[in-house]
């Protein structure tokens, strides 16, 4: 695998499993944006660790994803999971989402190895009732569009099945 691949889908759609398959063989690093702020999230993180297996290096970085990506050894595949949690972290900490998105897109362009990014597609449902929820949904849609434009390959996963939206051979 080469270039930048974005894997989109809904909750529990199989996005991460697909991204792991696309990442291929070592060397690879899992760049995790999640934080274990409660027991349920601790369990989710443990399940993701078990799914990956011991061959994966791990970088835990909830905010400075662009910087972390730039520090990875050349030739290493990086799986960033996930942009949705990263966006939530940015908004929670009052960060400038547009500026951080620009930084991430630049880091993707300068990456010294393949990058696979996982993100939720949350714009397929009803318009949320609460203002903050609408702002988050809108920001997620804009973020996904920016990363998709920078990516060489984009896949949408539903029920564990990938659908190629951009680049590469169809639906492997």
Query: In this model, does residue 164 exceed pLDDT 70?
Result: yes
Please pick, among 28, 48, 92, 93, the residue that the annotation labels catalytic. Answer: 48
Domains and CATH numbers, the chain: 4-166 (3.40.50.300)
Residues 94-105: tens digit of each pLDDT? 999 999 999 999
pLDDT: which is higher, 157 or 38: 157
CB neighbour list of residue 76: distance below 8 Å, 6 or more residues apart: 27, 28, 29, 57, 112, 113
Across 103-123, average pLDDT: 96
**Predicted pLDDT of residue 36:** 76
Residue 92 appears among annotated catalytic residues: no
Residues 7-20: tens digit of each pLDDT? 999 998 999 999 99
Instruction: State what percent of residues in the chain have pLDDT above 90.
Output: 77
């Amino acid at each position: 695998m080469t270039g930048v691949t974005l894997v989109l889908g809904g909750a529990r759609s199989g996005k991460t499993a697909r991204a792991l398959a696309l990442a291929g063989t070592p060397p690879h690093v899992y760049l995790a944006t999640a934080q274990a702020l409660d027991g349920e999230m601790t369990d989710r993180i443990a399940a993701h660790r078990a799914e990956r297996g011991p061959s994966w290096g791990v970088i835990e970085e909830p905010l400075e994803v662009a910087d972390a990506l730039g520090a990875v050894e050349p030739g290493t595949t990086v799986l960033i999971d996930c942009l949705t949690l990263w966006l939530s972290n940015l908004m929670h900490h009052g960060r400038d989402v547009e500026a951080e998105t620009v930084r991430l897109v630049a880091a993707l362009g300068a990456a010294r190895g393949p990058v696979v990014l996982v993100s939720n597609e949350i714009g397929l449902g009803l318009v949320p009732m609460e203002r903050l929820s609408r702002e988050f949904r809108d920001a997620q849609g804009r973020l996904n569009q920016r990363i998709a434009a920078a990516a060489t390959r984009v896949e949408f996963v539903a029920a564990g099945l990938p659908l190629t939206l951009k680049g590469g051979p169809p639906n492997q």
